[in-house]
Amino acid sequence: MRGPPLTEAEVKRYGRHLVLPEIGAEGQSKLRASSVLVVGVGGLGVPAAVQLASAGVGRIGLLDGDTVEASNLQRQFIFSEADVGRKKVEIAAERLRQVNPNARVATYDVRLGSDNALDFIGEYDVVVDATDNLPSRYLISDACVMLSKPDVYASAQAFEGQVSVFYSPLGPCYRCIYPAPPPPESVRSCEETGVMSAVPSVLGTLQAIQAVALILQRGSPLVGRLLVFNALDSSFDEVKIRKSGSCAACGPEATLTALIDYEEFCNVRPRPESKVDVTPVELKAMLDAGAPVTLLDVREPYEHSICHLDGAVLVPLGSLVRGAAKLDRSKRLVAYCHTGVRSRTAVEFLRKAGFSDVMNLKGGIEAWAEEVEPTMPRY
């Protein structure tokens, strides 16, 4: 649907598009009449949303329930120090309207879930998956399959990332590649692994390019192809991906007919607190009282070098099978990592290995810095 002719102001704004035969006035009108939902206003979502607004996409939805944190500023370039603590979607909408006053920006300060995904996604032509966790990726992919919507996917960590378009029935969905999620302890977050500041911008921009290509129906979007980017050697590689005949979501005998509990499916539902956990304040009290405690740091050496608890023994989680033999079983062990996820896995392993008095620092060293030692360097 083209809609009314472009205005004089639009002709001036989009002039560099209009001279492109692949876009022209007709394509620009298509962009103006289109809508894109960006799920996640972070390292991927920020550049994707800015590029979509600049391109002239008429309606952009921003869905994210988070507030801006200081650690976001390294890569989420539309936020500033003054925005810390404010809602991401509110600030992003303000900035997008400054980029292009013609864009109609809708904000959703919520978390996408099985109870609302079909409603939100159903309102838009294209979905940009700019999330950073497995439950959301499965949820968005499944919902897009059910609604026959294109899912423009990307992920970024460290110095590399990948992007693809999952669009059933034209090509595979996310489940075709990953029919089952990996063990939660094997998946490390961007917070734990780090990410070079410009890498998400490259991937998010590629997502915007894919969304525009889908709207214009021009070129060859990455349906059935996974584009892999490596910033260390400035390379792009492409991997062919195919629909799975046994896919539960988009296969010929699909068994997934409704959205499910994705945290349960990915085995990442927060576990109830138990005596396994010790809070930073409780641990400090133990140490101040001179209790015989061995602090076990299960992070990687580079993390330990940034900050650590005094006297902690460094045994990375991947080396714990061998390193456990050197630990003193006569003392209480308190394991910690960055946020408490890896250390919980370490505690479970050590208890099965016969250590009777092992505890997990709830919230990890991040919580320790927040509650006990605010001058500690953080990452």
Model confidence pLDDT, tens digit, residues 36-47? 999 999 999 999
Sheet containing strand 277-278, edge to edge, reads: 277-278, 358-361, 332-336, 293-297, 313-314
Q: How many domains is the chain partitioned into structurally?
A: 2
Q: Euclidean distance between the first and final Cα of the chain, in Å?
A: 48
So which residues are the catalytic ones? 190, 337
pLDDT of residue 378: 83
Among 265, 297, 312, the domain-final residue is 265
Digit-coded pLDDT (tens) for 114-128: 999 999 999 999 999
Structure tokens at 51: 């590029």
Digit-coded pLDDT (tens) for 160-210: 999 999 999 899 999 999 999 987 666 666 666 789 999 999 999 999 999
Among 205, 237, 265, the domain-final residue is 265
Structural domain includes residue 298: yes
- 92 vs 351, more confident: 92
| Neighbouring C-beta atoms of residue 191, cutoff 10 Å | 14
Structural domain includes residue 377: no
Q: Is the dihedral of CA 36, 41, 43, 47 positive or negative?
A: positive
348: buried, middle or exposed (CB in 10 Å: 19+, 13-18, 0-12)? middle
pLDDT of residue 191: 66
Structural domain includes residue 17: no
Structural domain includes residue 26: no
What confidence tier does 141 reach under pLDDT thresholds 50, 70, 90? Answer: very high
pLDDT of residue 192: 65
Rounded Cα distance between 125 and 102, Å, is 18
Rounded Cα distance between 12 and 102, Å, is 13
- 90 vs 329, more confident: 90
pLDDT of residue 329: 86
Q: Which CATH number do you get for residue 350?
A: 3.40.250.10
User: Does 294 lie in the same domain as 179?
Assistant: no
Rounded Cα distance between 343 and 90, Å, is 35
Q: Say whether pLDDT at 69 is over 70.
A: yes
% of the chain with per-residue pLDDT over 90: 83
Closest CA to 270 of 135, 87, 130: 135
Digit-coded pLDDT (tens) for 245-282: 999 999 999 999 999 999 989 887 655 544 689 999 99
Among 231, 265, 299, the domain-final residue is 265
User: Does 333 lie in the same domain as 241?
Assistant: no
User: Does 283 lie in the same domain as 260?
Assistant: no
Q: Which CATH number do you get for residue 108?
A: 3.40.50.720
Domain carrying residue 229: 34-265
Q: Say whether pLDDT at 353 is over 90.
A: no
User: Does 203 lie in the same domain as 73?
Assistant: yes
pLDDT of residue 273: 47
User: Does 241 lie in the same domain as 146?
Assistant: yes
User: Does 112 lie in the same domain as 82?
Assistant: yes
Q: Say whether pLDDT at 304 is over 70.
A: yes
Q: Model-level pTM? A: 0.78
